[in-house]
Amino acid sequence: MTWTEPAIWYAELPAFHAAAAAYITDPVGDVLLVKPTYRDHWAFPGGYVEAEEYPHQACARELHEELGIPITPGNLLVVDWSPPTGPRPRALVHFTFDGGILAGLGEIRLSAQELDDAAFVPPERAARLLPANVAPRVPAAARARTAHAPAYLAGGLGYPPSTPLEC
């Protein structure tokens, strides 16, 4: 076995992006989604993890920036590993934290630079508004919140999968 200098070894490891978002519901279980100004689809409130930042810190920062309210992320609900796709040349690990229950949109102040809209929508509608690879996070987060145990998804698919994953 050949010894590799740590700096070289680490430089040769695959790299990935990380993002963090919140699963926030209202008292009847509708899911808070936001409509970014820079995307054609809706999303969970959240964003990318910056260097020197933990995922839960990124989630809190993004919620404050996007919604104008301080929310301390609760338990980790979903981890979803997404392989590289389209213009994103690296894999993405996405952390979904429990953002709690809000009575309504009253306290929310949208960042006009980032968001066009926000709405609480029934889970079935949320799944239709989100990209197909993100939609499975809605039921996974709901189950994880109830079970008090995080869910792991691989490209939006449950794990272990009912059919083998392509790698």
Say what the pLDDT of residue 32 is: 97
Domain ranges of the chain: 23-157
Q: What is the mean pLDDT of each run of 10 residues along the chain (167 residues)?
A: 82 88 97 94 96 97 94 96 85 96 91 92 95 94 96 84 55
Say what the pLDDT of residue 161 is: 59
Say what the pLDDT of residue 99 is: 97
Say what the pLDDT of residue 167 is: 52
For residue 122, count other CB atoms closer than 10 A to its CB: 13
pTM of the model: 0.89
Architecture of the structural domain at 23-157: Alpha-Beta Complex (3.90)
* Separation of CA 114 from chain center: 16
Nearest Cα to Cα of residue 67 among 50, 53, 52, 46: 46
Q: Got the DSSP string for 8-52?
A: HHHHHS--EEEEEEEEEE-TT-PEEEEEETT-SS-B-SEEEPPTT
